[in-house]
Structure 1
Amino acid sequence: MSTLRVTAEVLTVHPHPDADALELAQVGLYRAVVAKGAYVTGDIAVYIPEQAVLPAALIEELGLTGRLAGSGADRVTAVRLRGELSQGLVCRPAALADVDLAEAAAGGTDFAGRLGIVKWSPPVPPTMSGEAESAPDLLPWPDIENLQRHPDVFEPGEPVVLTEKLHGTACLLTLHTEDGRVQVSSKGFGARGLALREDPRNLYWRAVLAHDLPAAARRLAARLGARRVGFFGEVYGAGVQDLAYGADARTDAVGYALFDVAAEIGGEVRWLDPAQVLEPGEVPLVPRLYEGPYDLDTVLAHASGRETVSGRETHLREGVVVRAATERHSPVVGGRAVAKAVSPAYLTRKGGTEYE
């Protein structure tokens, strides 16, 4: 998931094509349904993104009691209102009445703490949990920001690569060549500097061993002369999330697809394209959907459709991950030039799961 920030934003207001009393307030490429006349283009308001959990007082103030998602009816999610996708909330909370929103927008002030808003943490099923241990030298996977929130990450025409985004659970593996240690973790545990002790019942370890990832990491480390190698992949299949891609994580047929590689070479951690540094068939990779000049419409077109992992188009596609063909820093997101674009059909599907 991307980082949670609640910020003041300049709005662009569009008519709602199928509701006289509603309009669409645009922030970045997101659009949120608002009452007609509440805002005009150029107004500044607070934008609360998806996956934000709101305190009860704010929910009541916004007139959203009983209308949000989750067991506590307090979580912001994408919804369709009169046929239009609404992502996030646009509002002017009373708690910020004394704030110069124009100044806050210019400075990128984050109001999450002041408003009591926190990021939703998905539940962790027992098969994805386990006994954790400190792992300060684990290579962590950074959050990927949403392209619709940060549409200026890439320049028009810049060479990019699009890979399919899988709905599973992120698995982190770090190989230490000096002593042969292999550390395995989830995104959530890894973000806290923790690894999972080896356990044949644990989903991540089962995937790592089933696909012989430590051996592949050792071969890559030898080719690169790396001190550490990190594999970042998605574990998927029935028993993980609602989208299974024809695999079954409850058996030996647990699915795995590598989406990123990091290597510490000469004291510097470098991010590498798995398709360029691994031998064909050495490790299952996420499907590569497009390579070419960056064009927003092309990205959004690829974000929707049917999955290609199983080869049978068994269900909808979650979205795509976009990255610069040549690894670079992005001042827009303050990190790697990587972003995701998610399918509207995925966001509004019924019965979806979002486990960590």
Structure 2
Amino acid sequence: MSTLRVTAEVLTVHEHPNADALELAQVGLYRAVVAKGAYRTGDSALYIPEQSVLPAELIEELGLTGRLAGGKSDRVKAVRLRGELSQGIVCRPRALADVDLAAAAADGTDFAERLGVVKWVPPVPPTMDGEVEAAPDLLPWVDIENVQRYPDIFEPGEPVVLTEKLHGSACLLTYVADGGRVHVSSKGFGSKSLALKRDPRNLYWRAVHAHGVATAAAALAERLGARRIGVYGEVFGAGVQDLTYGADGRRDTIGYAAFDVCADIDGTLRWLDPAKVLDGELPLAPRLYEGPYDADVVLATATGRETVSGRELHLREGVVIRPAVERYSAMTGGRAIAKAVSAAYLTRKGGTEFE
């Protein structure tokens, strides 16, 4: 899940192909539907991204009462307006009337707190919950930004790898070589250095046991001489999310696919390619593309049908983009890694978004 930032942005305005009274304001690679004439290319305005939860007074000011997502109609979600995908909200709230938005755009000022905008936190079903304990050795997962918001994370032509992004729930496993300890956690608990206590009813522990994840991590630690190994995988199937890939999270056919690996070697954390260190030992997220970075190729690959089941059972959520050679990104302040999500996934009916 990406971080929440509500920032001023310089807009590029496009004609709406299906509505005379509407236009499309572009931020990064996102486009949001706006009233015609409200903005011109080069103008600066506030951009409120998807998964933002807005306070009631701001919703009323923007004329969006009853039109947003969620039980309280207060969450920003991608929608199609007159056939065009609209992601996020472009606006100029009264609370920022005294702000130089052009300067704020240049500075990257975050207005989320000032406006009372918070990030939506998905609910946690009982099967994904459980008793937790402190786990200071746990290797947490990292937030992944959307390449549509930050298209300059990668250089044009840079060698990259695209893997399929699965719609399930992230399972974090850390193997500690000293004593052979195993910590299992979710993304939410892991961010707080908490691990789930061993429980045969828990979704993540069942997936770890069913697919031998701890055994694979222990073998990798021995091969690399690592103090800790982090294996990050997606648990999926019926009962987990609405997209199932032909698996069943309630039974022995629970789905699992490793999508990243981290190794603590001599006190240095190294991110490793799962295809190079775990192929043949664990199921892996499918690799869809290897080649030069091109935004159009990324967005095209993010669409289509899933490849996990081998039967194209339903739509694809999207892709995760990584450089062929792991590197640092000044834009993210950490790893150079991003995601792209398909429009069909964002606008599907009856979708679930559990943590």
Alignment TM-score > 0.5, same fold? yes
How far apart are the structure 2 equivalents of 1:102 and 1:313?
A: 46
Partner residue of 1:346?
345
Equivalences for 1:53-72 in 2 at 5 Å? 53-72=53-72
- Indicate the residue corresponding to 2:290 in structure 1: 291
Counterparts of residues 47-58 of structure 1 (less than 5 Å) = 47-58=47-58
Residue 73 of structure 1 aligns to a residue whose secondary structure is coil
Which position in structure 1 is the counterpart of 2:3?
A: 3
Conservation of the 8 A alpha-carbon contact between 2:18 and 2:83: yes
Code of the residue aligned with 2:346 in structure 1: it is: L
Counterpart of 1:335 in structure 2 is 334
Provide the residue aligned with 2:132 in structure 1.
132
Structure 2 SS opposite 1:58:
helix
**Structure 2 residue aligned with 1:234:** 234
Distance 1:344 1:143 in 2: 21
Displacement after TM superposition at 1:130 (Å)? 0.3
Match of 1:262, SS state, is: strand
Alignment of 1:139-288 (within 5 A): 139-278=139-278, 280-288=279-287
**Contact map agreement 2:137 2:176 (CA 8 A) in 1:** no
Residue equivalent to 1:300: 299
What displacement does 1:266 show? 0.8
Task: Look up the equivalent residue of 1:37 and give its one-letter code.
Answer: G
Q: Whole-Å Cα distance in 2 between the matches of residues 57 and 125 of structure 1?
A: 31
Matches within 5 A, 1:110-125: 110-125=110-125
SS of the residue aligned with 1:152?
helix
> Which residue identity is paired with 2:273?
D
For structure 2, the residue ranges without an aligned partner over 5 or more in a row are none
Please give the per-residue CA displacement for 1:333-355, whole angstroms capped at 9, x wherever unaligned. Answer: 21111100000000000000000
Q: Deviations over 1:182-210 (max 9, x none)?
A: 00000011011111000000000000011
In structure 2, C-alpha distance between the alignment counterparts of 1:299 and 1:30, rounded to whole Å: 14
Separation in structure 2 between the aligned mates of residue 353 and residue 286 of structure 1, nearest angstrom: 20
Contact 2:163 2:321 in 1 (8 A): yes
Q: Normalized against structure 1, the TM-score is what?
A: 0.99
What amino acid does structure 2 have at the position aligned with 1:206?
A: R
How far, CA to CA, are the matches of 2:25 and 2:110 in structure 1?
Answer: 20
* CA distance in structure 1 between the partners assigned to 2:32 and 2:307 by the alignment: 30
Once residues 150 and 196 of structure 1 are traced to their aligned partners in structure 2, the CA distance between those partners, rounded to angstroms, is 33
Structure 1 runs (4+) greater than 4 angstroms displaced? none
Q: CA RMSD in A?
A: 0.6
Corresponding residue SS for 1:258? strand
Look up the SS of the partner of 1:345 in the other structure.
helix
Q: Distance in 2 between matches of 1:46 and 1:115?
A: 11
> Matches of residues 6-45 of structure 1 in structure 2 within 5 Å?
6-45=6-45
- Pairwise CA distance, 1:307: 0.1
| Distance across 2 between alignment mates of 1:194 and 1:138 | 8
Report the Cα distance in structure 2 between the residues aligned to 1:86 and 1:246, rounded to whole angstroms. Answer: 31
The one-letter code sitting in structure 2 at the alignment partner of 1:205 is: W
Quote the Cα distance in structure 2 between the aligned partners of 1:267 and 1:37: 56
1:271: Cα distance to partner? 0.3
Distance in 1, Cα, partners of 2:294 & 2:148? 13
2:136 and 2:266 map into 1 onto residues whose CA distance is: 19
The whole-number CA distance in structure 2 between the counterparts of 1:223 and 1:293 is 31
Task: State the 1:109 CA deviation.
Answer: 0.5
Instruction: Supply the distance in 2 between the matched residues of 1:84 and 1:330 (Cα, whole angstroms).
Output: 32
Aligned residues: 355
String of CA shifts for 1:135-182, please: whole Å, max 9, x gaps. 122101001000000000111111100000000000000000012110
Q: CA deviation at 1:74?
A: 0.1
SS of the residue corresponding to residue 149 of structure 2 reads coil
Superposed CA offset, 1:90-133 (max 9, x none): 00011111111111111100000000000000000000000011
Residue 313 in 1 paired to residue 312 in 2? yes
Secondary structure of 1:19's partner? coil
C-alpha separation between the residues in 1 aligned to 2:63 and 2:304? 35
Q: The residue matched to 2:155 in structure 1 has which SS? A: coil
Q: Secondary structure at the match of 2:103?
A: helix
The CA distance in 2 between the partners of 1:233 and 1:86, in whole Å, is 31
Q: CA deviation at 1:40?
A: 0.4
2:246 and 2:313 in contact (8 A); partners too = yes
What secondary structure sits across from 1:229 in the alignment? strand
Give the drift of 1:81. 0.1
User: For 1:217-267, what per-residue CA distance to the aligned partner results, in whole angstroms no more than 9, with x for missing partners?
Assistant: 010000000000000000000000000000000101100000000000011
